Amino acid sequence: MISKVLFPVDFSLVSEYAFSNCIPRFFSTGVAEELILIHVLDIHPTGDEFIDFDKMQMNAKEKLEKVAKDFKEMGINVTKTIVRMGHPALEIANVAEEENVDLIYMPSKGEHILRDMLIGTTAANVARVATKPVLLVKYEWDKARHTVKCIWDARRVFDKPLIALDFSPCSDSIVETVKALFEDYVKKATLMHVIDYGKPDKTKELSEEALKKLEEFAKKFKFESELEVGVGIASNAIINEAIIKGSTVIVVGKRGRSVLKDLLLGSTADGVIRKSMLPVLLVPCKY
């Protein structure tokens, strides 16, 4: 069960669509108990002009309180609204730690959405630096209706997860997170390991070993799981399998807290974030 969800609001079309449609649907499932809202003022003083920071914070607070009021009228338990100044991704990650939230819910733009929506870039950066799980959800631009559209079902997000396991200690963190947050809401899962290592002539042997390990992981959950072993580029194999299985969310682990390191170095998690149109749950490793 998810106790606290942190939802960053930037007042863009993506953010507005998320809080008027998807957040209420997400909470209607009963999977989460309370919601904390945050808005970060990304301001860089130049010294050339006077900026009334107090007024900006007050205006942002008023707008955020309006969002909170709307949520409360929908029956959602909003417990706090927070306005910060600074780097959006870092401030969101820091507040998530301070408030000890269970999940950061990040709306993200799809590859075809309006370029001026900052929330997309912020979402990817939060996913990389946060030490709390991040649910990254994509939205697209509906050309016909000239508005944002949701490309996932907020009520079914945890129905059929694809859980990617690399058999490192990070896999244990993934298991702990799934069991703690949404195990009771899973109807059927896919547990997957991708072989992107070893010599080609050892692939069959490695696949058999991986399948045995997946069987051991499957015993840790109380829901039914299909087991899959893929070969090739991990992020591509994971996304393709999720599409084939009709998965509702991809669960993958990510390492590191260094902003520079995480932004410059590629990883399976980064590849999944960039390419997947399904929701992605990023689980920080605890080592």
Per-residue pLDDT of the chain (287 residues; tens, 9 = 90+): 899 999 999 887 767 777 777 888 899 999 999 999 999 998 765 555 667 778 889 999 999 999 999 999 999 999 999 999 999 999 999 999 999 999 999 887 644 443 433 344 688 788 888 999 999 988 776 666 666 666 678 889 999 999 999 999 999 999 999 999 999 999 999 999 999 887 888 889 999 999 999 999 999 999 999 999 999 999 999 999 999 999 999 999 987 554 444 443 448 888 898 888 899 999 998 75
Same-domain check for residues 15 and 73: yes
What's 213's domain CATH number? 3.40.50.620
Examine the domain organization and report whether 165 and 277 are in the same domain: yes
Please answer whether residues 171 and 144 qualify as being in contact, where contact means their C-beta atoms are separated by less than 8 angstroms.
no
Both 276 and 168 in a single domain? yes
**Residues 276 and 184 both lie in one domain:** yes
Kind of pairing, strands 225-231 and 189-195? parallel
Pair (264, 136) in one structural domain: no
Phi, psi for 108 (deg, rounded to 5): -140, 145
Residues 140 and 255 placed together within one structural domain of the fold: no
pTM over 0.95: no
Does residue 180 share a domain with residue 219?
A: yes
What CA–CA distance (Å, rounded) separates 36 from 159?
24
Number of domains in the chain: 2
- 143 to 10, 108, 147, 258: CA distances (angstroms): 22, 18, 7, 38
Residues 226, 143 share a domain: no
In a domain, 134, yes or no: yes
Domain that includes residue 43, residue range? 2-150
Q: Do the domain assignments include residue 82?
A: yes
Domain end call among 150, 183, 199: 150
The whole-angstrom separation of Cα 124 and Cα 106 is 9
Confirm whether 155 is domain-assigned.
no
